[in-house]
Structure 1
Amino acid sequence: MCVCINCFYLTFCSRYYLFEKIGLEANTAKYPFFYPFLVNVVFHIKMKNQSISSITLEWDIIECLSFVDKPGLWHSISKN
């Protein structure tokens, strides 16, 4: 699970913006001008069938030294 969902910098983090773009998701990071320090990333390979065309990647930031906790941030953003 991505640690970004409760990070103060979520809406302007360049790394989170990039991962949203890779994942073809709606851009939560509207103004990506913040560059986080020492980000640890993992990705999961998912395959629905036994077909190469069904492979998808999910990117998660599991550790970030720039993380500043802001509990409930993701919930307040997702309502808008």
Structure 2
Amino acid sequence: MCICINCNHITKCNTYHLIESQHKQPHLTRSPLFIPKYPVVHVNISNNCTYNQIDWDLVECLSFVEKPNSWNLDAN
């Protein structure tokens, strides 16, 4: 699971912006300026008979600052 959803920097983070792109999701920010320190992204590839699935998860980051539910802009 991506830790970004509970990080205070999610709306301005360029690594999360990349993950949004890989998941073909709309971006929270058009031009993120925050560059996190030492993010670790796991790319999980699974396949079955009909298609391949790729999942990108940021699992470690020295810049992580916990703020639960940060991805939910309506709740902030």
Q: After TM superposition, is the score higher than 0.5?
A: yes
Max Rg structure: 1
The superposition leaves residues 36-58 of structure 1 with CA deviations (integer Å, 9 ceiling, x where unpaired) of 000111011122x314xx11211
Runs of 4+ that moved beyond 6 A: none
Choose from 67, 70, 75 the match for 2:67: 70
Q: Structure 1 42/77 Cα, relative in aligned 2: closer, same or farther at 3 Å?
A: same
Unmatched segments (≥5 aa) in structure 2: none
Report percent identity of matched pairs: 37
The number of residue pairs the alignment matches comes to: 75
How does the TM-score come out when normalised to structure 1? 0.81
TM-score, scaled to structure 2: 0.85
CA RMSD after TM alignment: 1.7
Query: For 1:45 and 1:78, how far apart are their aligned partners in 2?
Result: 32
Q: 1:41, 1:8 → 2: CA distance?
A: 18
Deviates more, 1:5-14 or 1:20-29: 20-29
Q: Which amino acid aligns with 2:73?
A: I
